[in-house]
Amino acid sequence: MKAVILAAGLGTRLRPITDNVPKCMVSVNGQCIIDKQIENLKENKIKESDIYIIGGYKREILKNHLQNKYPDVNFIANDRYNETNNMYSLFLAKNCVKGKEFLLMNADVFFDSTIISGIQKGKGSKIACDRRGYLEESMKIKVSNSGQICHISKKIDEKEYFAVSIDVYRISDSASNVLFDEIETTIVRNKDENSWTEVALDSIFPKTDFSPFIIEDKWFEIDTLEDLKKAEILFK
């Protein structure tokens, strides 16, 4: 299995830390987020050479860090990070993972490696999600009567949501083809380069099955300095 980590964002709400490093290199108790994600993958038998990281803001700092610590990890530069969103970053990995099964992650989530081992079990496309509470800032999912995911958005109402997405996705080989076709339509044909990846995912749910993978493990999405403090307490 391959893995894609989207790490191009500016991380403005984590300043002044991100004045010097990209958001994914912010440290939680001495370990930066990107290293934790790579180690999670390696612990679950995903080789460095099967990992693709898309960097943007302060990408040379990230690229040098990866070359020194994880020399076989593949680095892809999003030179237009300040005018595009993470769907465009994923689009840049099209030739590497389209038609192949892969894990997809945003590089601002610090989480237990057991989440990777759990989402790898079984078959099919899955979204790792948490049912322990409604989080306004996070992507939420809604499921159909059959239990399949039918909607993902930050705007899903608390009365309708099934769980909160933790931004860890397993994309099957068949769903990978459908997803990248949708992304290409959005970016190339519709000239929309500033949408979330989840917009494309939401569009393909009627065409391919995605199941919720419910977690009880630790995770924290780190967007602000207050988030960082909370994450360090959680993972102390």
Q: What confidence score (pLDDT) does residue 228 get?
A: 97
What is the mean predicted confidence (pLDDT) over 47-70? 97
DSSP count for the chain of H helices, then E strands: 8, 13
The CATH number covering residue 222 comes to 3.90.550.10
pTM above 0.85, yes or no: yes
Alpha-carbon distances, residue 33 vs 58, 112, 226, 228 (angstroms): 15, 11, 16, 11
What pLDDT digit, counting tens, does each position of 182-228 carry?
999 999 999 999 999 999 999 999 999 999 999 999 999 999 999 99
Three-state DSSP at 54 gives strand
On the question of pLDDT at 2 being above 90, the answer is yes
Q: Is 126 exposed, middle or buried (0-12, 13-18, 19+ CB in 10 A)?
A: buried
Q: What confidence score (pLDDT) does residue 136 get?
A: 86
Q: Which residue, 91, 102, 112, 113, is CA-closest to 185?
A: 91
What pLDDT digit, counting tens, does each position of 115-163 carry?
999 999 999 999 999 999 899 888 999 999 999 999 999 999 999 999 9
Q: What confidence score (pLDDT) does residue 137 get?
A: 83
What pLDDT digit, counting tens, does each position of 6-41 carry?
999 988 999 999 999 999 999 999 999 999 999 999
Q: Which residue, 209, 233, 198, is CA-closest to 105?
A: 198
Q: What confidence score (pLDDT) does residue 232 get?
A: 97
62 is in which domain, residue-wise?
2-234
How far is Cα of residue 5 from the mean position of the Cα atoms in its chain? 6
What pLDDT digit, counting tens, does each position of 94-109 carry?
999 999 999 999 999 9
Average of per-residue pLDDT values in the chain:
95
Give how many domains the chain has, as a whole number.
1
